Amino acid sequence: MRNGGPATSRLSAWVARMTSGSSTGSIAGARGSMGSRSAAPFTRGSVSEDGRKLPSRCPRRDLAGRRACVSAKRDETSPKRAARSRTRGPMKPKPAHEVELFRGMWTTDPGMKRVFRIVERVARSDATVLVRGETGSGKELVARAIHDLSPRGKGPFRAINCAAVPSTLLESELFGHVRGAFTGAVRDTPGQFRLANKGTLFLDEVAELPLEVQAKMLRVLETRTVTPVGARDPVPVDVRIVAATHRPLRREVEAGRFRADLMYRLRVIPVFLPALRDRVGDAVLLTERILEEYNARGGRRVTRISPGAKTAIERYPWPGNVRELRNALEYAYVIGDGPTLERADLPPEIADPERTIDGAPIPERTNLASANSDAGAVQRALERTGGDRTRAARLLGISRVTLWRRMRELGLLGDRPRA
């Protein structure tokens, strides 16, 4: 910046105005020339209304050390700003028991919330995941969440239960087959790996894979190719694997039922799901959410859970986890009546564990009067199942013969046409 000239004069006048009045300092050596290197930086010693000193204002300098302009810092500790902070108060941390919904899974348990955070991080990668948890704990929901949150979320999601397919058909189901590969192979079948191309394949109960299929599974994971049964040439596939099991794979390896090399390939990132009995407060929370689903179907509307029912739900260990809870609530929804879920509506092993043997109620003598009191429950079960006595008996927790006898005592059989 050159000395002298109209621009320099205007800047000098502006600096003089800025430093006049409340300023207690002075510009040492400040003259008409703003380019003097001997001029010392000036300070502004004003104080606020509450006696605090305002930040100093220092002139900026260019690379040569010459002052060119003045910059004033904002006072972040003004009385008004401090008053607003006192009015707002400190930010309250979120309580640990806050309800969280994650991809269709409800929880208040800190351990389950940690699983959610792990799933979010795992989904960003393409690594193989092994989900371990008890039966009914939600392993497929976790696998689906990993897929939906991943870059493959728009691709296919295929699931296969390795324990539900006969071992003789499992290889063909996974890897596909060509026409004529075996008796009954009348056309080419792609298999689950090829159907899941560009997406995710969920292998549920992977510990049930036969050893001969495990060897081929290992080959697929290593080469990213599958060879259909009866084919010669491998087919490339781009699939992410999410496996699940309720058994510790290491024990299966020690017992000789599972290959160690395949275990290491599958458990690149292990995810452990806690059991429902270990999730603090989740049994009652899930009960409320499941009942809301049942209410939306129509029919009976449950708006309240009695204290006795809550106690029974909280104390029961739920060996079948969320799946067992759903079945128990469907039973209670059909058996009970009115807007309140009572303890007596729950299955006997949950409502009164001390009066059951291995989950079955202790038999008691009943007469026609007690049977009449069950007429509404029997009718609702039959309506719920469309008259299917086998399913109705299962809902009621009794045998089909017992249901037939109760229907006969209650006059619900009707007149059947004779052959």
Q: Give domain limits for the chain.
A: 1-88, 101-274, 277-410
With bands split at pLDDT 50, 70 and 90, how would you rate the model's confidence at 226? Answer: very high
pLDDT, residue 286, reads 98
- Tell me, what's the pLDDT at 72? 46
CATH number of 101-274: 3.40.50.300
pLDDT value at residue 5: 57
Under 8 Å between Cβ of 103 and 141: yes
Which residues of 247-404 form beta strands (DSSP E)?
Answer: 269-272, 304-305, 340-341, 356-357, 360-361
Domain at 277-410, CATH class: mainly alpha
CA-CA distance, 59 to 36, in Å (whole number)? Answer: 13
Q: Comparing 273-287, 299-313, 381-395, which segment has the lowest mean pLDDT?
A: 381-395
Is the whole-model pTM more than 0.85?
Answer: no
Range among 3-17, 65-79, 92-106 rated most confident: 92-106
Q: What is the pLDDT of residue 378?
A: 83
Lowest mean pLDDT among 35-44, 63-72, 295-304, 405-414: 35-44
Among the listed residues 122, 163, 166, 169, the one whose alpha carbon sits nearest the alpha carbon of residue 145:
122
Q: What is the pLDDT of residue 159?
A: 98
| pLDDT above 70 (res 293) | yes
Give the pLDDT band (50/70/90) at residue 32: very low
Residue 59 has a pLDDT of 59
Give which of 162, 248, 159 is closest to 210, Cα–Cα: 162
**Looking at residue 10, what is its pLDDT?**
60
Mean pLDDT of the chain: 80
Q: pLDDT at residue 60 above 90?
A: no
Average pLDDT, stretch 246-250? 95
Q: According to the model, what pLDDT value does residue 270 have?
A: 98
Per-residue pLDDT at 23: 42
Residues sharing a CB contact under 8 Å with residue 302, sequence separation 6 or more, in sequence order: 291, 294, 295, 333, 336, 339, 340, 341
Looking at the chain, the whole-number percentage of residues with pLDDT higher than 70 is 70
Highest average pLDDT, of 60-74, 91-105, 198-212, comes from: 198-212
**For the segment 345-385, what is each residue's pLDDT rounded down to a tens digit?**
999 989 987 654 444 454 443 333 333 346 778 887 887 77
User: How much is the pLDDT for 393?
Assistant: 80
How many helices (H) and strands (E) in the chain?
17, 15
Rounded (to 5) percent helix, strand, coil in the chain: 40, 15, 45
8 pLDDT band, cuts 50/70/90, is low
Is the confidence at residue 80, as pLDDT, over 50? Answer: yes
* Region of poorest pLDDT, from 75-84, 221-230, 261-270, 295-304: 75-84
Cα dist. 60→29, 53, 252 in Å? Answer: 16, 21, 73
pLDDT category at 394 given cuts 50, 70, 90 is confident
Residue bearing the bigger pLDDT, 69 or 337:
337
